[in-house]
């Protein structure tokens, strides 16, 4: 008689459900979970370690169309999550490794040019920055015809006119953007929406519109003298340098106000257009500068003089031109209630400069003539899950919707593209959609550091000497050699749980982790008998499990349920031998009970 349907007891099902919900076997590594694009960092890093470069670049290209660009300028939130960073303050140089492998192995033949058949729908995208470009790619691949408008004559957005050339050579942007042309995306460059074409007109002529024009309005701080000639916003300053490699007015002595990465870009760019003295000041003290450590270090190497913890109070002018700046020592930045309310000491200094650059934030302009409401910093009001606006066919992505770095802008571009595609296909924007996958997320991974892990220091890529590099626009960072890259990639701890899978041999025959193996049981109440009957019951899985999940209980206790469904017998053929063995083991022929010792009054049977 065959095995009847097995009805698993509640305790077995409950244990299975607990395991499926808590097992960390399928959780993303820290690096991957922190990438808004969900790039499988661990996977490509380890392929680099094995010198499997073609495979590595393909893994990157599954998510990122501009690996060489991101390899240079990605703000790499992944590195902040890296376990080696958390444990030893030596995170993997993930971005630099990406650059290495992209330079080494990326080939146009790997570029995925498959495009779905034409849908006849037309999408307009405002802005050729990373958000607009990513959305354009995704929508074009779905068969829609896509036109990108940009007021500049070049592509790349802030990557082109914000991020300095010495960090990101422009030919790289052009090369990586050539992918968009190959896909058949149309570009209308030198066309400003709101001026050359009204936003309203776009709405009439396109089935959907994506606003991705970034945050290009610089912030001018309200201090006396701020309208004098020689005062710039960071965006204007960097844009002019990016497009012309100079500033039309003489720049000899520069004060950059701000402590973030943009301020570092302004300060360092100043050398390259011929400045003789470059200063910085910021409310934040040196140890709490928002800029990345590397940027600060490189700026110092290039001779920028820091006045971190000094706030600007007045710009000094003569004949309407900047001649200096008065700065005051900062006592505190925020008041007791946590509000921004800088307080100063008495101490002041005056620094003579002819140029002042305010790197104190960028705002989003309105290009819709008020059709889409805006909120703080000018960001448009959107549904944060779908990026939809108050107008059905209009969506927003990138910095205009709140991102702050390139890879986030791309993720919002991708998110908007998903919404637009659904909108164009008359599908719900939200149904069956896993929003968590569209952004970075918390991984549930929580595992002990393996015992034998040593603190191996991070390798730095090769930099040109400061005195040489600060006088030209050539790239400062020469990247890794192959030997360095392989060594650096080999430091990866390959973070994953699966500790039980290293202990248990049998589970490896049935899946990659307990969650995967027990999902059918937890979800549908089914399990193959051979799984349950292959467990030795040794408990090593539970011992190493950070959550002490009860795998053995499921495998061993469920046998009772199998037996019940099989007329009291094990469903396993081989267990016929056990049946015999047990009959004999209890039979008179092989058993005895006998009293020894002094025997007292007891008689043998």
Partner 1 sequence: MTIKIDKNKCYGFMAGCSLPSYSPYGVIKTIEYLNSIFPNFAVIQKCCGKPTKAIGQYELFKERFQSLQKDIDDLKIDEMIVACQSCKVTFDEASPTPTHSLWEIFPIIGLPQEVRGKAKNSDVVFTIHDSCSTRYMKELQDGIRWILEELGYKYIESKYSREKTRCCGFGGMVVPANPEVAKKVMKRRVETLDSEYVVTYCAACRSSILQGGAKAWHILDLIWGPVVYSNNLPPSDVLASPIKAWINRYKAKMGIKNALK
Ligand X SMILES: Cc1cc2nc3c(=O)[nH]c(=O)nc-3n(C[C@H](O)[C@H](O)[C@H](O)COP(=O)(O)OP(=O)(O)OC[C@H]3O[C@@H](n4cnc5c(N)ncnc54)[C@H](O)[C@@H]3O)c2cc1C
182, 249, 384, 404: which one contacts ligand X (CB under 6 A)?
404
187-195, 472-480, 532-540, 594-602 -> range binding ligand X (CB under 6 A): 187-195
* Cα angle: 109, vertex 112, 113; to 5 degrees: 95
For position 214 contacting ligand X by CB under 6 A, the verdict is yes
For position 415 contacting partner 1 by CB under 8 A, the verdict is no
Nearest distance in Å: CB 500, ligand X: 38
Which residue number, 240 or 561, has a Cβ lying nearer to partner 1? 561
Q: Give me the sheet containing 186-189, strands edge to edge.
A: 186-189, 145-150, 122-126, 208-211, 394-396
Residue carrying structure tokens 């409401």: 373
70-78, 200-208, 474-482, 574-582 -> range binding partner 1 (CB under 8 A): 574-582
Asked whether the beta carbons of 14 and 20 are under 8 A apart, the reply is: no
Give 397's contacts (C-beta < 8 A, 6+ positions apart): 131, 132, 134, 135, 210, 211, 212, 387, 403, 409, 412, 413, 415, 416
For position 261 contacting ligand X by CB under 6 A, the verdict is yes
Q: Site residues for ligand X, window 131-150 (CB under 6 A)?
A: 131-132, 149-150
For position 577 contacting partner 1 by CB under 8 A, the verdict is yes
Q: Which does 404 bind (CB under 5 to 8 A by kind): partner 1, ligand X, none?
A: ligand X
For position 267 contacting ligand X by CB under 6 A, the verdict is no
Going by the DSSP 8-state scheme, the letter that residue 349 receives in this structure is E
For position 568 contacting partner 1 by CB under 8 A, the verdict is yes
Beta bridge partners of 232: 357
CB atoms within 10 A of CB 467: 11
For position 190 contacting partner 1 by CB under 8 A, the verdict is no
C-alpha to C-alpha distance for 408 and 411, rounded to whole angstroms:
5
Q: State the helix-helix crossing angle for 482-489 and 94-105, rounded to 10 degrees.
A: 130
Q: Site residues for ligand X, window 366-385 (CB under 6 A)?
A: 367
172-180, 207-215, 311-319, 491-499 -> range binding ligand X (CB under 6 A): 207-215
Q: Which does 162 bind (CB under 5 to 8 A by kind): ligand X, partner 1, none?
A: ligand X
For position 172 contacting ligand X by CB under 6 A, the verdict is no
Which residue number, 101 or 163, has a Cβ lying nearer to ligand X? 163
C-alpha to C-alpha distance for 434 and 451, rounded to whole angstroms:
36
8-16, 297-305, 406-414, 441-449 -> range binding ligand X (CB under 6 A): 406-414
For position 157 contacting ligand X by CB under 6 A, the verdict is yes
Asked whether the beta carbons of 565 and 5 are under 8 A apart, the reply is: yes
Q: Any idea of the CA torsion for 300, 303, 304, 310, to the nearest 10 degrees?
A: 80
C-alpha to C-alpha distance for 409 and 401, rounded to whole angstroms:
9
Closest CA to 130 of 357, 401, 387: 401
C-alpha to C-alpha distance for 407 and 18, rounded to whole angstroms:
35
Q: Site residues for partner 1, window 580-599 (CB under 8 A)?
A: 581-582, 584-586, 589-598
Q: Give me the sheet containing 277-282, strands edge to edge.
A: 231-233, 355-358, 253-257, 277-282, 305-308
x/- map, 474-513, partner 1, by CB under 8 A: -----------------------------x-xx--x----
Closest CA to 128 of 192, 75, 194: 192
C-alpha to C-alpha distance for 220 and 203, rounded to whole angstroms:
33
Q: Give the count of residues interacting with partner 1 (CB under 8 A).
A: 48
For position 350 contacting partner 1 by CB under 8 A, the verdict is no
For position 159 contacting ligand X by CB under 6 A, the verdict is yes
Q: Which does 147 bind (CB under 5 to 8 A by kind): ligand X, partner 1, none?
A: none
Nearest distance in Å: CB 603, partner 1: 11
Which residue number, 61 or 559, has a Cβ lying nearer to partner 1? 559
Q: Which does 478 bind (CB under 5 to 8 A by kind): partner 1, ligand X, none?
A: none
Burial of 89 (0-12, 13-18, 19+ CB in 10 A): exposed
Instruction: Give backbone dihedrals phi and psi of 38, rounded to 5 degrees, phi first.
Output: 65, 30
x/- map, 524-563, partner 1, by CB under 8 A: ------x--xxxxxxxx--x-----------xx-xxxxxx
Which residue number, 47 or 173, has a Cβ lying nearer to ligand X? 173
Which residue number, 222 or 568, has a Cβ lying nearer to partner 1? 568
SS3 190: coil
For position 1 contacting partner 1 by CB under 8 A, the verdict is no
Q: Which does 555 bind (CB under 5 to 8 A by kind): partner 1, ligand X, none?
A: partner 1
For position 2 contacting partner 1 by CB under 8 A, the verdict is no
For position 570 contacting partner 1 by CB under 8 A, the verdict is yes
Going by the DSSP 8-state scheme, the letter that residue 319 receives in this structure is T
Nearest distance in Å: CB 516, ligand X: 35
For position 216 contacting ligand X by CB under 6 A, the verdict is yes
Which residue number, 64 or 517, has a Cβ lying nearer to partner 1? 517
Q: Which does 152 bind (CB under 5 to 8 A by kind): partner 1, ligand X, none?
A: ligand X
For position 197 contacting partner 1 by CB under 8 A, the verdict is no
Residue carrying structure tokens 């570092």: 264
C-alpha to C-alpha distance for 351 and 316, rounded to whole angstroms:
10
Residue carrying structure tokens 């009204």: 198
Which residue number, 385 or 570, has a Cβ lying nearer to partner 1? 570
For position 13 contacting partner 1 by CB under 8 A, the verdict is no
H/E run at residue 253: strand 253-257
Residue carrying structure tokens 């037309």: 122
Give 411's contacts (C-beta < 8 A, 6+ positions apart): 36, 37, 134, 403, 438, 439, 440
Residue carrying structure tokens 């896993």: 434
Q: Which does 457 bind (CB under 5 to 8 A by kind): partner 1, ligand X, none?
A: none
C-alpha to C-alpha distance for 199 and 17, rounded to whole angstroms:
53
Q: Site residues for ligand X, window 73-132 (CB under 6 A)?
A: 73-75, 126-132
Which residue number, 162 or 225, has a Cβ lying nearer to ligand X? 162
Question: Which residue blocks in 466-548 are alpha helix, DSSP H?
Answer: 466-469, 482-489, 499-503, 514-524, 529-532, 540-544
Which residue number, 248 or 587, has a Cβ lying nearer to partner 1? 587
SS (H, E, C) 441-466: CCCCCCCCCCCCCCCCCCCCCEECCH
Interface residues toward ligand X, by CB under 6 A: 73-75, 126-132, 149-152, 157-159, 162-163, 192-194, 212-214, 216, 235, 238, 261-262, 265, 362, 367, 398-400, 403-407, 409
Interface residues toward partner 1, by CB under 8 A: 503, 505-506, 509, 530, 533-540, 543, 555-556, 558-563, 568-570, 572, 574-575, 577-578, 581-582, 584-586, 589-598, 600, 602, 604
């Amino acid at each position: 008689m065959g095995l009847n349907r097995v009805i698993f007891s509640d305790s077995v099902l409950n244990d299975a459900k607990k395991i499926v919900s808590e097992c960390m076997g399928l959780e993303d590594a820290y690096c991957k979970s922190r990438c808004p694009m969900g790039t499988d960092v661990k996977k490509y890093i380890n392929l680099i370690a094995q010198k499997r470069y073609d495979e590595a670049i393909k893994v990157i290209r599954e998510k990122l169309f501009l690996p060489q660009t991101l390899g240079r300028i990605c703000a790499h939130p992944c590195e902040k999550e890296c376990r080696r960073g958390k444990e030893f303050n030596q995170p993997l140089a993930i971005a630099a490794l990406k650059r290495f492998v992209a330079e080494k192995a990326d080939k146009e033949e790997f570029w995925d040019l498959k495009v779905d058949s034409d849908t006849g729908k037309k999408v307009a995208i405002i802005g050729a920055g990373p958000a607009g470009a990513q959305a354009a790619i995704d929508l074009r691949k779905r068969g829609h015809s896509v036109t990108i408008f940009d007021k500049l004559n070049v592509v790349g957005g802030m990557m082109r006119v914000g991020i300095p050339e010495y960090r990101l050579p422009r030919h790289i942007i052009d090369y990586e953007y050539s992918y968009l042309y190959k896909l058949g995306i149309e570009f209308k460059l030198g066309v400003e929406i709101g001026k050359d074409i009204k936003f309203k007109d776009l709405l009439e002529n396109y089935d959907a519109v994506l606003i991705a024009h970034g945050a290009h309005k610089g912030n001018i701080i309200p201090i006396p003298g701020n309208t004098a000639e020689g005062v710039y916003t960071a965006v204007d300053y960097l844009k002019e340098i990016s497009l012309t490699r100079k500033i039309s007015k003489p720049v000899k002595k520069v004060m950059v106000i701000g402590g973030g990465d943009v301020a570092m870009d302004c300060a360092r760019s100043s050398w390259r257009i011929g400045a003789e003295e470059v200063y910085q000041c910021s409310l934040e003290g040196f140890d709490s500068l928002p800029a990345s450590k590397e940027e600060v270090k490189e700026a110092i190497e290039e001779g920028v003089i820091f006045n971190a913890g000094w706030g600007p109070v007045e710009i000094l002018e003569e004949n309407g031109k900047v001649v200096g700046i008065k700065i005051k020592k900062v006592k505190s930045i925020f008041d007791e209630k946590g509000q921004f309310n800088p307080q100063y000491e008495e101490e002041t200094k005056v620094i003579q400069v002819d140029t002042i650059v305010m790197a104190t934030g960028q705002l989003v302009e309105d290009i819709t003539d008020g059709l889409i409401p805006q909120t703080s910093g000018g960001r448009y009001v959107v549904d944060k899950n779908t990026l939809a606006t108050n107008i059905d066919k209009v969506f927003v992505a990138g910095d205009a919707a709140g991102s702050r770095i390139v890879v986030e802008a791309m993720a919002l571009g991708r998110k908007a593209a998903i919404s637009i595609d659904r909108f164009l296909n008359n599908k719900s924007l939200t149904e069956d959609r896993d929003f968590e996958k569209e952004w970075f997320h918390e991984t549930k991974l929580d595992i002990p550091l393996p015992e034998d892990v040593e603190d191996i220091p991070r390798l730095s890529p090769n930099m040109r000497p400061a005195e040489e590099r600060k006088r030209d626009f050539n790239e400062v960072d020469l990247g890794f050699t192959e030997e360095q890259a392989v060594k650096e990639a080999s430091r990866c701890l390959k973070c994953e749980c699966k500790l039980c899978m290293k202990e248990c041999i049998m589970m490896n025959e049935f899946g990659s982790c307990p969650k995967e193996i027990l999902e059918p049981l937890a979800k549908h109440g089914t399990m193959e008998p051979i799984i349950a009957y292959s467990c030795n019951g040794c408990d090593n899985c539970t011992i190493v499990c950070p959550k002490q999940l009860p795998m053995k209980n499921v495998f061993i206790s469920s046998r009772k349920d199998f037996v019940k469904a099989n007329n009291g017998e094990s469903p396993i053929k081989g267990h016929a031998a056990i049946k015999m063995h047990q009959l004999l083991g209890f039979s008179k022929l092989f058993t005895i009970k006998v009293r020894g010792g002094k025997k007292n009054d007891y008689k043998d049977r």
